DNA sequence: TATGCACCCTCCAGTAACTGTAGGGTCAAG
DNA sequence: CTTGACCCTACAGTTACTGGAGGGTGCATA
């Protein structure tokens, strides 16, 4: 029932190189090896990788993921720190949305200025030029 | 009236190293040098740098900026290409906003699951774990 | 004249999170 | 015994800068 790196990759939608990268930076433990030097994994590592990928999918940085994994190991601790990480991440995302929305409005206004003529008269380029 | 690199930096809110980087990748022309080997710039380069920074501020990649600068040099061309670049950029930003909004909703749901107890019971970590 | 200080120079390394490639080994099936 | 799928290591490249080491320039002041 030993899993190879490709099995983990398939099961989690992760590239093989990415799994090796996670191992390199210490997010995944050094796995056992077969006689032929192939990495072998157990279900626990598969769960850990799934956790990492789900967290990454939600936009957490690898450093945050590392913290979350560290917290998850202390089952008797308060989960306040977990909540804090999640809330701050959400705040950061909302800031990003606000920034992008402002950009979107600005772009909309600039695009409207296009006179569909020549570059020389282009309102878009003019809007990008120094006032 | 020759401008030094620090003058350009001050006038555009750009770090000196960033200006040298733009020169290195060919976004800014190789400037004249003083006897003491200091870069000297004219108003035209200042305008070019301002254009770059304004475009970057609107989220255009350096490759797009390069295209826009290239188009701006052909004053008699149609500005259709300029409009296309701007519209596609806007589309990309709107996709990003949609993605982040989806993330935001998902995070909100996950955060609600926190029971404020121990890590072992934490609904956030559970939501991050493989189903 | 010496000194201090702000500014300039080049070159190189590091950031985040992978992705791709070169050059080779392992293993089961046909 | 060969083919093909899979695995291995090691290293370079991506984006757009940012920071630092180690040293030179130029102007004003004591």
pLDDT digits (tens, 9 = 90+) for A32-69: 999 999 999 999 999 999 999 999 999 999 999 999 99
| CB-closest option in A71, A107, A120 to B90 | A107
3-state secondary structure of A109: helix
End-to-end CA gap in chain B? 67
Q: Using a CB–CB cutoff of 8 Å, tell me whether B92 touches chain A.
A: no
Position A72 scores a pLDDT of: 94
Give residue for tokens 């589309």: B91
| pLDDT of the residue at A130 | 80
Alpha-carbon gap: B90 to the closest alpha carbon of chain A (Å): 6
According to DSSP, residue A32 is labeled E
Judge whether residue B63 has pLDDT over 80.
yes
Torsion over CA: A97, A100, A102, A104 (sign):
negative
At residue A21 the predicted structure's pLDDT band, cuts being 50, 70 and 90, is very high
Q: How close is the nearest chain B Cα to the Cα of A33, in Å?
A: 25
Mean pLDDT of chain B: 95
Dihedral sign of CA atoms B13, B88, B68, A124 in order = negative
In the predicted model, what is the mean pLDDT of residues B93-102?
97
Asked if pLDDT for residue B71 goes beyond 80, the answer is yes
Q: Which two tokens stand for residue B123?
A: 């609904």
- The whole-angstrom distance between residue B37's C-alpha and the CA centroid of its chain comes to 30
Q: What is the pLDDT of residue B115?
A: 87
- How far apart are alpha carbons A94 and B32 in whole angstroms? 45
Report pLDDT for B6: 98
| Chain D positions with a protein C-beta closer than 7 Å | 6-10, 15-20, 24-26
How confident is residue A13, by pLDDT bands cut at 50, 70 and 90?
Answer: very high
Average pLDDT over residues B22-29: 97
In chain A, what's the furthest Cα-to-Cα distance? 70
Contacts of B27 (CB under 8 A, 6+ apart): B52, B62, B65, B66, B69
Average pLDDT estimate for B85-106: 97
User: Using CA atoms, how far apart are residues B58 and B30, in angstroms rounded to an integer?
Assistant: 26
Whether B39 shows a pLDDT value over 90: the answer reads: yes
Among chain B residues, the shortest Cα distance to A48 is held by B129
C-beta within 7 A of nucleic chain C, residues 16-55 of B: 16-17, 20, 37-39
* Average pLDDT over all residues of chain A: 95
Of B46, B106, B130, the CB nearest to A51: B130
């Amino acid at each position: 029932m030993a899993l190879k790196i490709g099995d983990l990759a398939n099961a989690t939608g992760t590239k093989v190189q990415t799994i090796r990268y996670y191992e390199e930076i210490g997010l995944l433990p050094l796995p056992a090896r077969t006689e032929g030097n192939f990495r072998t994994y157990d279900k626990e590592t598969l769960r850990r990788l799934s956790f990492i990928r789900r967290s990454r999918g939600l936009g957490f940085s690898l450093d945050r993921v590392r913290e979350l994994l560290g917290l998850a190991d202390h089952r008797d601790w308060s989960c306040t720190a977990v909540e804090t990480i999640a809330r701050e991440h959400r705040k950061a995302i909302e800031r990003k949305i606000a920034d992008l929305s402002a950009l979107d409005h600005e772009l909309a206004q600039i695009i409207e200025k296009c006179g569909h003529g020549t570059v020389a008269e282009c309102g878009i380029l003019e809007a990008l030029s120094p006032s």
